[in-house]
Amino acid sequence: MLIAKTTNIDHMKKIKTTILTELAAVETELKAIQSDIPVLNEVSSQLLKSGGKRLRPVMAIASALSCGYKGSSHIALASIIELIHAATLLHDDVIDNSIKRRYQDTANKVWGNKNSILAGDYIYSIAFQKMVAIPDPKVLKVLSEATSYIVEGEIIQLTQAHNPNTSIASYLEVITRKTARLFKVAAELGAVISNAETKQINSLSNIGNSFGMAYQIINDLDDYDLDHSTGKSICDDLLEGKPTLPYILAYNNGSKTQKELLAKCLTKSENKIDIDSVIAILIETNAFTQTKEYANNYLKSALDELALFDQSISCTEPHGSKQEDGNKYTACIRELIYYLQSKVTLQT
């Protein structure tokens, strides 16, 4: 298993110290979003101004700067990607009937489903307005395709709801679409706006995808966090009938009796689940350990690809400032990966 040497907080501090100015510029853009409709401002600002780690903007900014980018479009790109992410969260919380996010009541709980959906649509529209300001047609193409891809992932996930026989392959397809795609796009487009070489664009794209896959797998592990340290309600996914990787592995590995209990929990319509029994089964079937192995394998792939990317930028300008700056910002991407590794080591 890959082991991070410092805490997850340390890794985020290192990242934010390196790109502090750029992240502040992103926050300024997000906070500047205003509508003439008061309720839209209230709903959208509750999410946009509630903070979060801004992992997707970090990926976009670090990727662009690691390729030697010198303009300002990376700030717009990072803001657009965070807006798309925020819009999907508003919609997801309605679909999932979620009531907690980042230790706060969700927008749909406070303002209702209709206002939350419309606020999500509004944020999407702002994102697309900002897209046209980036003078590269590929950016618009990739971002618009990603938005469709994410929605398709949500639809696929809905078709799998309450199905204990969901395969690992089906689960991975969903998280590829719903989560990994936006990280992949963030890294890829950071390189695109920098006019990076094709091999560098492909490397960063692969890094973003692997990181995103690991991120969602770790997030699904967090669903079973008994310490409530994630800001979400425990076993939300199970209550919503979502068969995530820990559940699928436990079901595949379980005895007949264990499978019957797990199937009953996933298909229950009321919010009453024997959480202790479920977690006991996940431990007994080695599901937690196996899930961590999946996450760590994706993180190893990201680190391996990052090593190749480091070599490619070194070959581009072996003695120039671009190499020195690039290494500084690829270190940010590496710290992102270490951040997730440290989360794996702290889990269940």
Note the pLDDT tens digit of each residue in 197-219: 999 999 999 999 999 999 999 99
Q: Which residue ranges make up each domain of the chain?
A: 8-346
**Cα separation values, 322 from 8, 30, 208, 310, Å:** 29, 29, 21, 12
- The per-residue pLDDT of the chain, averaged, comes to 89
Element (H, E) at 11: helix 8-18
pLDDT band at residue 326, thresholds of 50, 70 and 90? low
Quick one: pLDDT at residue 44? 86
Where is pLDDT greater, at 330 or 274?
Answer: 330
Judged against a pLDDT cut of 50, whether residue 58 lies above it is answered with yes
Quick one: pLDDT at residue 75? 97
Judged against a pLDDT cut of 70, whether residue 2 lies above it is answered with no
Quick one: pLDDT at residue 228? 54
Residues of the chain above pLDDT 70, percent? 89
From the list 53, 110, 91, the residue with the least C-alpha distance to 231 is 53
Quick one: pLDDT at residue 104? 81
Quick one: pLDDT at residue 345? 79
Instruction: Looking at 161-229, list the stretches that DSSP marks H as alpha helix, in order from N- to C-terminal side.
Output: 168-175, 181-192, 198-222
- SS3 category, 100: strand
Q: What's the pLDDT tens digit per position in 148-185? A: 999 999 999 999 999 999 999 999 999 999 999 999 99
Judged against a pLDDT cut of 70, whether residue 229 lies above it is answered with no
* Residues β-bridged to residue 105: 100
Least confident range of 3-12, 59-68, 100-109: 3-12
* Strand segments (E) across the chain: 100-101, 104-105
pTM: 0.92
Q: What's the pLDDT tens digit per position in 86-118? A: 999 999 999 988 887 767 888 899 899 999 999
CATH architecture, domain defined by 8-346: Orthogonal Bundle (1.10)
**Cα separation values, 312 from 10, 298, 306, 308, Å:** 28, 21, 10, 6
Quick one: pLDDT at residue 97? 82
Q: What is 47-76 written as a DSSP string?
A: HHTS----HHHHHHHHHHHHTT--SSHHHH
Quick one: pLDDT at residue 346? 64
Q: What's the pLDDT tens digit per position in 287-307? A: 999 999 999 999 999 999 999
Element (H, E) at 40: helix 38-48
**Cα separation values, 324 from 67, 204, 236, 320, Å:** 11, 18, 45, 7
Quick one: pLDDT at residue 99? 81
Judged against a pLDDT cut of 80, whether residue 279 lies above it is answered with yes
Quick one: pLDDT at residue 5? 42
Average pLDDT over residues 120-140: 93
Q: What is 76-97 written as a DSSP string?
A: HHHHHHHHHHHHHHHHHHHHHT
Q: Residue 21 half-sphere exposure, CB side, CA atoms within 13 Å?
A: 3
154/178 Cα distance (integer angstroms): 7
Quick one: pLDDT at residue 321? 46
Quick one: pLDDT at residue 294? 98
